[in-house]
Chains A and B, each alone.
Chain A
Amino acid sequence: MVWFYLLSGIFLGWSLGANHTGNIFGPAVATKMVKFRTAAIIASLFVIIGAVISGAGAAHTLGKLGAVNALGGSFTVALAAAITVAWMTKLGLPVSTTQAIVGAIVGWDLFSGALIDTNALTKIVATWIINPILAGIFAFILYKLSMFFLRNVQIHILEQDMYTRIGLVLIGAFGAYSLGANNIANVMGVFVTANPFKDINLFDIIHISGTQILFFIGGIAIAIGIFTYSHKVIKTVGKSIMKLSPISALIVVLSESLVLFIFASESLAKLLISLHLPSLPLAPVSSSQAVVGGVIGIGIAKGGGRAINFGTLGKIAWGWLLTPISAGILSFFALFFMQNVFQQQVYKPIKYSITPECRTKLVEKGLWDKKLESIEDSVFESAREFKYALILKMGLKKDRVNKIIKYAELYPLMIDSFKVKKELDTKWFGEERIEVLKKLHGVRFKHKWQLVDTLSKMSPVWRYKPPTPENRLYNRELKKRYEKLFIEFSRSHL
């Protein structure tokens, strides 16, 4: 059954491979600089490597947007996105898997009554705007630099050809790696919170997380897409956007890969943070948009609007609007059918209640309001219902409501020391943390924050540090470990 559910993710992976490889190797293959077979082998290999090694960063942001918590839901969301991608491809509109999946997740949020994390959504939508602009700026600068270089350095045309060819292969590999790292979140991200795979520890040396196994399967699906269907798309992409010279092609692919890399690389984000520089959010971005940005950048560098086809640009903008909206609508209705016609669970309802513990916490945090007494101990079936009660019935302020919702979320947990030993990777968690955790054997919690509070009180190793830029990394890593605990010890999983 698990495999059946994963099928839609695999389908989405396949369409991503078939579609987006064109963005990386399209110009190279279309200008006949690289053979299709070479391109396909390199792209497949590096997509898989990228997905497994650094796929987690962008997946995290997507997970925040909508933690699709039932396999049936993940299946439907991925299917809605895949159908949208396939349909848009058929219409000849440039399509972005990222936008499709984001639209589909928002559809799930609406259907399940979960609150849409506007922060995460804004972050993602902002990257859609930053992404093509950034790619355009990169392409503009790189083009000017390369022209300066070509004019001033004496290099034989055949050597230039050879270096361009090598560059296209290397940058194509980098592009495929970045695509895998960034866009695997689109393919398998919705399955992360409902991941059926367990972590594997090989001889205590190599730790392969369940997510990585999931991403590996997604990577394979992308590779199959590349081999079976990308040939046609590669040809269209390479020729239709703008007639590119091999060097322009190289620049477009390099700019695109850089952008994808910037938005996917946790190591780069860590480096920027450690240098006290602002880091960009890690989010899945669209390679199609980056390519368009890159091509426009080159068009401007070549002398303004002359080279740019504004008709095509309009079509692209239309596609950008249409993709997330149609994926969202499709996802919503598909979830309805899945739940009511096929009788499948598409989400695990998350309930909310102001328990006595929650009340104490709210008082402690200064969020308590007398009006809340009227709903004490009553259970709300969804975040939306709870929010509705707080805002409309009690007239509480929005920012306060969001905080109350966080503390009132019911998430029954029970720590089991046997499971601690068996399921948790001591190396990743650290022995000290594991020892502290074992002491909580048999203890039950109603809310996630209770576990965090208890562990923080027990030991400094489980404590978040003050939110300064230097501590951001530490806190983010600790948060990952807490999230693992929530998944492992959730009583609704028992």
Chain B
Amino acid sequence: MLPVFKKTKELEAKIDEFLDVIMEASLEFKQGIKYYLEENFEEFSKRAELVDKLEGKADTLRREIENKLYSEMLLPEARGDVLALLENSDDVLNIIADTIMGFEVEKPKIPDFVDRYLYDLVSESSASVEEMVTTVRSYFKNITAVRDHITKIMFHEKESDRVGNKIKSDIFKSTELDLAHKIHISTFVEKLLLIADKAEDVGDRISIYVMKRLA
């Protein structure tokens, strides 16, 4: 294989790996929160640690990709867009890692009547991240599919908003919990909502980048 082809393939593989890491982290995050809600704290801790490691790995990969893009002067036109895309996707992963670490460190007590909804919220946020990863992949490989994936991100983000608001209104309506407890749970709901929000931001950016590429 010609060196130029080899280099391109290597970098493509790195980008794919970076996206795989985000996807994996999102799935582990969902699974971890499930264990947390089931009060299986030992399994939860394992997942939290794994997500933290994946976050570190993603950082390293991102830096390697960015260095390659700059040092080899690749994608002169779309380089800025691609870098922003990688960094924003990485930000989403950082929030995921922060959130799971928050659960690990602060150990918030989740009342039973919130349990089911909180898992729904995590599922929606995680789904929006998974769709975000697919959208980014499509931006690189299959630009026509981007639109469908962005629609899905928007759907999951809206769903997460709906579930998040339901949880917040339920806990603040509740008479069993004190205010400090209510606020504590609310900050975690906010963090979970932020994940979907940031994933949606990435989707919005991609829709602009696609227009730029096809202009």
A residues at B contact (CB < 8 Å): 31-33, 147, 150-152, 154-159, 161-162, 166, 245-246, 302
Contacts and interface: CB of A to CB of B under 8 A. Distances in A.
A159 B144 CA distance: 17
Contact of A158 (B12, B76, B142): B12
B73 A158 contact: no
Contacts of A152: 144
Interface string B36-55: 00000000000000000000
Given A151-B214, A154-B141, A157-B82, A246 B76 contact: yes
Interface string B121-164: 00000000000000000011111100000000000000000000
B214 A158 contact: no
Contacts of B12: 156, 158-159
Contacts of A162: 4-5, 8
- Pick the most buried of A32, A147, A162: most chain B CB atoms within 10 A of its CB: A162
B74 interface: yes
A162 B214 CA distance: 17
A182 to B, nearest CB: 30
A157 B78 contact: yes
Contacts of B213: 157
Contacts of B140: 156-158
A246 B77 contact: yes
A156 B8 CA distance: 10
B11 to A, nearest CB: 6
Given A150-B214, A156-B140, A157-B75, 14 more contacts: A32-B73, A32-B76, A152-B144, A156-B141, A157-B139, A157-B141, A157-B213, A158-B11, A158-B12, A158-B74, A162-B4, A162-B5, A162-B8, A246-B76
Given A157-B82, A162-B4, A245 B77 contact: yes
Interface string B95-127: 000000000000000000000000000000000
Contacts of B77: 31, 245-246
A33 to B, nearest CB: 6
B8 A159 contact: yes
A246 B74 CA distance: 12
Contacts of A161: 8, 74-75, 78
A38 B73 CA distance: 14
A302 B215 contact: yes
Query: What 5 A-B pairs are tightest by C-beta distance, nearest first?
Result: A32-B76, A154-B142, A162-B8, A157-B140, A161-B75
Contacts of A155: 141
Interface residues of B, number: 22
Interface SS of chain A: helix, strand, loop or mixed?
Answer: helix
A166 B78 CA distance: 17
B8 A33 contact: no
B75 A158 contact: yes
- Pick the most buried of B12, B75, B139: most chain A CB atoms within 10 A of its CB: B75
Interface string B176-215: 0000000000000000000000000000000000000111
Nearest to B74: A161
Contacts of A158: 8, 11-12, 15, 74-75, 140
14 contacts: A31-B76, A32-B76, A154-B141, A154-B142, A157-B75, A157-B139, A157-B141, A158-B8, A158-B11, A158-B74, A161-B74, A162-B5, A162-B8, A246-B77
A246 B213 CA distance: 10
A151 B143 contact: yes
Nearest to B139: A157
Given A155-B141, A156-B140, A245 B215 contact: yes
Interface string B59-93: 00000000000000111111000100000000000
A161 B142 CA distance: 14
A147 B214 contact: yes
Interface string B1-35: 00011001001100100000000000000000000
A154 B4 CA distance: 20
Contacts of A246: 76-77
A161 B141 CA distance: 12
Contacts of A245: 77, 215
Contacts of A31: 76-77
A166 B142 CA distance: 21
A162 B76 CA distance: 11
A33 B5 contact: no
Contacts of B73: 32
B99 to A, nearest CB: 31
Contacts of B142: 154
A185 to B, nearest CB: 35
A161 B77 CA distance: 9
A245 B213 CA distance: 9
Nearest to A161: B75
Contacts of B143: 150-151
A151 B139 contact: no
A32 B80 CA distance: 14
A71 to B, nearest CB: 48
A280 B127 CA distance: 61
Nearest to A163: B8
A305 B143 CA distance: 27
A268 B142 CA distance: 39
Contacts of B82: 157
A154 B138 CA distance: 9
A494 B202 CA distance: 82
A31 B213 CA distance: 14
Nearest to B140: A157
- Pick the most buried of B8, B77, B78, B139: most chain A CB atoms within 10 A of its CB: B77
A339 B4 CA distance: 59
Contacts of A157: 75, 78, 82, 139-141, 213
B199 to A, nearest CB: 21
A150 B210 CA distance: 12
Contacts of A33: 76
Nearest to A246: B77
Nearest to A157: B140
Given A159-B12, A162-B4, A162-B8, A151 B74 contact: no
Contacts of A159: 8, 12
Nearest to B15: A158
A159 B141 CA distance: 9
Contacts of B75: 157-158, 161
A416 to B, nearest CB: 58
A151 B213 CA distance: 10
A274 B122 CA distance: 73
A157 B140 CA distance: 5
